[in-house]
Amino acid sequence: MTLDELSLVALYSAMAVYALAFMAFAIDLARRSATVERELEYRTSASLRVGVSLTALAALLHFAAAMLRGFAAHRVPWANMYEFAMTGTLLIVSVFLVVIWVSKVDLRFLGTFITGLVLLFLGVASVNFYVAVVPLPPALQSAWLVIHVFVATSATGFFALGFALSVLQLLQSRRETAGTGPRFLATLPDAERLENFAYRINIVGFILWTFTLMAGAIWAERAWGRYWGWDTKEVWTFIIWTLFAGYIHARATRGWRGTRASWLAIVGFSAVIFNFTVVNLFFKGLHAYSGLS
């Protein structure tokens, strides 16, 4: 068995464990709804702890898959679409695990969203984006590949968490005003606290994104002879940066804080996903590294 085949085995195993973790998190949400329905106080359920443990286990397998792929290719495992997806989702999970580890507030309720998102991306990536290991084209042979792409994918991890929190914030504020929405919301922090968490996570993403943009410009100057040329990927990086800059402004603008600001975070993360999928696959440009033809 080659290293790359081992990597695939590890990845499929990780996906299976993620699926179990997703179920555990979903059971926890169901339990939250049930306690609200019976007007009991919600106490952290065992399934929540199982979900986190399974996610950590899956992340280890996922990490092994990425490492094996890297060893198989003798380079960092993020040089084509399949590898971006594999490493990017690993970073999303890692950011989630680190944040719930560090945060004093219990954010484990985001597990369903995170494991679901990761599972979806890994499924699409392993079925549709898989390519055999090939050497790096000369344009990618640079230390900036390590820095620029890694920071960009880390930013995606933070934006993903921020997105989930913003969506919950919208649901929560609707529940607070109209009383509608899934019952488990009653066990989550109120809309204002969700907004504050979303903001703190999104600004980390924004800083990383700013760095991505700058590192990309430095690299582009070396590789393509100009630091900025409105290549399609540069355009979308700029659009995402502007959207999140708008989000941060909105948070400080009377009348925009709250619901409107959170919509901007949601649109911003959607643009990140659009940039990763549609722009990579269908837009013509210099960032043509999907490895797919």
Taking the least distance from each CB to other proteins, the nearer of 67 and 223 is 223
Contact letters for other proteins, residues 160-199 (x by CB under 8 A): ------------------------------------x--x
Q: What is the CA radius of gyration of the chain?
A: 20
User: Residue 177, Cβ neighbours under 10 Å: how many?
Assistant: 10
Total binding residues for other proteins by CB under 8 A?
57
74 makes contact with other proteins (CB under 8 A) = no
Closest distance of CB 252 from other proteins, Å: 5
Output b/e per residue, 271-280; b: 16+ Cβ within 10 A. bbbebbbebb
Which residue shows structure tokens 């993903």?
160
Closest distance of CB 205 from other proteins, Å: 11
Closest distance of CB 279 from other proteins, Å: 7
Contact 58, 114 (CB under 8 A): no
CA distances from 75 to 82, 142, 203 (A): 14, 11, 30
Contact 280, 288 (CB under 8 A): no
Which residue shows structure tokens 């490493």?
87
259 makes contact with other proteins (CB under 8 A) = no
Q: Which stretch binds other proteins (CB under 8 A): 34-42, 52-60, 131-139, 153-161?
A: 131-139
- Of these, 9, 19, 64, 235, which contacts other proteins (CB under 8 A)? 235
52 makes contact with other proteins (CB under 8 A) = no
Taking the least distance from each CB to other proteins, the nearer of 93 and 110 is 110
Q: How far apart are CA 214 and CA 200, in angstroms?
A: 22
Residues with Cβ within 8 Å of residue 162, at least 6 apart in sequence: 198, 199, 201, 202, 205, 265, 269
214 makes contact with other proteins (CB under 8 A) = yes
SS3 40: coil
Which residues bind to other proteins, rule: CB under 8 A? 131-135, 137-139, 141-142, 196, 199-200, 203, 206-207, 210-211, 214, 217-218, 221-232, 235-236, 238-239, 242-243, 245-246, 248-257, 264, 279, 283-286
